Copies of this chain bind each other. A is one copy, B any other.
Amino acid sequence: MEKQTENGPTTNTIPRPTNPMVTPLLTDLYQYTMAYAYWKAGKHHERAVFDLFFRRSPFGGEYTVFAGLEECIRFIANFKFTEEEINFIRDALPGTCEEGFLDYLRQVDCSEVEVYAIAEGSVVFPRVPLIRVEGPVAVAQLLETTLVNLVNYASLVATNAARHRIVAGKSKMLLEFGLRRAQGPDGGISASRYCYLGGFDATSNVAAGRLFGIPLKGTHSHAFVSSFMSPDEIVEKSLCSADGSTTCQDFVGLVHTWLNKIQRTRLSIGSFGDTNLSELAAFTSYALAFPNNFLALVDTYDVLRSGIPNFCAVALALNDLRYKAIGVRLDSGDLAYLSCEARKFFQAIEKDFGVPDFGTMSIAASNDLNEETLDHLKKQGHEVDAFGIGTYLVTCYAQAALGCVFKLVEINNQPRMKLSEDVSKVSIPCKKRCYRLYGKEGYALVDLMVGENEPAPKVGERILCRHPFNESKRAYVVPQQVEELLKCYWKGSSEKVREELPPLKDIRDRCMKQIEQMRPDHLRRLNPTPYKVSVSAKLYDFIHFLWLNEAPVGELQ
């Protein structure tokens, strides 16, 4: 993403955000009123540190997959106002805005900003900063809403995808089919990207395929099936064999021959009556268009009485011409039962007609699937090889938002904290370093936050880890491996070394690997063990000193 010029400094070539609507105006008005007030008070240059974090993992789970970082860095790298945007801000601010402020905005960019973040695709936990932004308070403040927006949904949907992957197991194909039900066009595109990151194999979303190189999957819908009236409609009936050696002049007739054979033969699993011939026509047409990729949606009329026998007739005709059909998709009904019956049918065909491998035909299932239904299907037993998941996955139906926040933790080297009557909403002050400590078996044991200037925990050395707010919760840990979590992803005009933004595939690999480094009980779907997030003894003491200092003392009257 960044090119080293021959003998000079690095050149910034970070592209703009994927969605052109991500501009400095994609924020809350109050960021501008605050920026104006900071500027009026002469405070806008004061160096501030903000932490972006969440307070609770989604979906009743104990882990979250961090996603959205690349878009945040693209936004920051290209943060600059156009004259039109400045004019709009002038009009949008309440009252009269001094021109000096607009002159200030004209020269604002992120050259004085530094951004430290956990690697995208990491498994992350509550309260640990995912992103730390350091810079002039007015500029950092202007970034808030956009960064939170870009991380919130990305991490939520990536986590949802990872949870689906864990339930489905590694051997199943997981396909994201959510575009039509996503929350807006970009909800769809982000969903495809971040579901892939979280462990899905492919998407139906063509735009996402083009933008991010995600594998694309898809066959046909019910409308295609019902658009056909009868096999007589098919005009071009010839099909060349897979090896090009022969041409079948009447593929439609060949399909009919096979259908009759299936109907006449007393198959080992029973016999079949008439099927829907408009469905047969649709399948035949589809096979003529995609003889190497024949996959049929079999539930438009009746799965077992019509869809499956029709599919088999076409697949057997293709088999005569040395093509191997891919399989079927079920989109309604009892998926466990239907998939098992379909499997029996395919196995009967393999056995009764002597067609090798016909029994292993792929069975895909869709229709309002979610983490829970995947789990139920697994418990019931099924023969589904691939799951197409839409609505519940991409809208994160079980919990539609992750509560990311962006809190001031330091200004002018003074630690700051936000108090709240609700302890879970109290923020952890200070610029911090964050570490993940691993145990003997290679599993992550605890995340530890320490003050910026405290020494790093060392492998093999005992260290006290304290719950930030509960004085009785603490534990000694002797880490076997120590990983520093926050790395520099944007260095402004400083001389620091910046992490590269890896390709999506690498981020996905990181996610898969990180999940393997978690103890399985933390990942459990129901009643998972909480993963510990802690602070050093020194930071603990400081938090509680500052808290007492800031909170007003009550007076009982």
Contact = CB atoms under 8 A, between A and B. Distances in A.
Interface stretch (A124-132, A182-190, A351-359, A441-449): A182-190
A278 to B, nearest CB: 8
A150 B187 CA distance: 11
Nearest to A332: B420
A206 B292 contact: no
Contacts of A401: 181, 183, 391, 395, 397
A220 interface: yes
Interface in A279-307: 285-286, 288-293, 299-302, 305-306
Interface string A168-179: 000000000101
A552 B290 contact: no
Nearest to A205: B28
A185 B552 contact: no
B285 A37 contact: yes
Interface in A393-413: 395-397, 399-401, 403-404, 406-408, 411-412
A21 interface: yes
A92 interface: yes
Nearest to A408: B223
Contact of A552 (B152, B157, B276, B404): B276
Given A33-B220, A306-B552, A288 B182 contact: no
A201 B40 CA distance: 29
Interface residues of A, number: 132
B181 A184 contact: no
A114 to B, nearest CB: 18
A222 B409 CA distance: 11
A29 to B, nearest CB: 3
A292 to B, nearest CB: 5
A15 interface: no
B149 A209 contact: no
Contact of A42 (B228, B235, B286): B235
A56 B291 CA distance: 39
A186 B32 CA distance: 20
B29 A184 contact: no
A219 B33 contact: yes
Interface stretch (A43-51, A102-110, A450-458, A486-494): A43-51
A390 B494 CA distance: 37
Given A180-B28, A420-B332, A141 B223 contact: yes
A8 interface: no
Interface stretch (A267-275, A503-511, A523-531): A267-275
Copies of this polypeptide in the complex: 2
Interface stretch (A210-218, A376-384, A459-467): A210-218
Most buried by B among A25, A177, A274, A395: A395
Interface in A152-174: 152-154, 157
A88 B29 contact: no
Contacts of A152: 180-182
B552 A180 contact: no
A23 interface: yes
A473 to B, nearest CB: 24
Nearest to A302: B552
A89 to B, nearest CB: 8
Interface in A525-552: 550-552
A336 interface: no
Contacts of A408: 222-223, 226-227
B42 A180 contact: no
Given A220-B37, A285-B40, A179 B397 contact: no
Given A29-B217, A180-B145, A418-B300, A552 B186 contact: no
A247 to B, nearest CB: 16
Contacts of A271: 557
Contacts of A30: 204, 218-221
Given A33-B219, A182-B183, A186-B21, A552 B41 contact: no
Interface string A404-430: 101110011010111111100100000
20 contacts: A20-B20, A29-B209, A29-B218, A30-B221, A34-B221, A41-B234, A41-B236, A41-B285, A94-B292, A184-B184, A222-B408, A223-B408, A226-B418, A227-B416, A274-B553, A276-B552, A300-B419, A302-B551, A332-B422, A391-B403
A-B CB proximity, top 5 nearest: A186-B186, A29-B218, A30-B218, A395-B400, A37-B289
Interface of A: 17, 19-23, 25-34, 36-38, 40-43, 46, 48, 50, 88-89, 92, 94-95, 137, 141, 144-146, 148-150, 152-154, 157, 177, 179-190, 204-207, 209-210, 216-224, 226-229, 233-236, 270-271, 273-276, 278, 285-286, 288-293, 299-302, 305-306, 332-333, 391, 395-397, 399-401, 403-404, 406-408, 411-412, 414, 416-422, 425, 550-555, 557
Given A33-B289, A183-B395, 10 more contacts: A17-B185, A19-B21, A22-B185, A26-B189, A30-B218, A40-B285, A144-B180, A223-B406, A227-B416, A302-B419
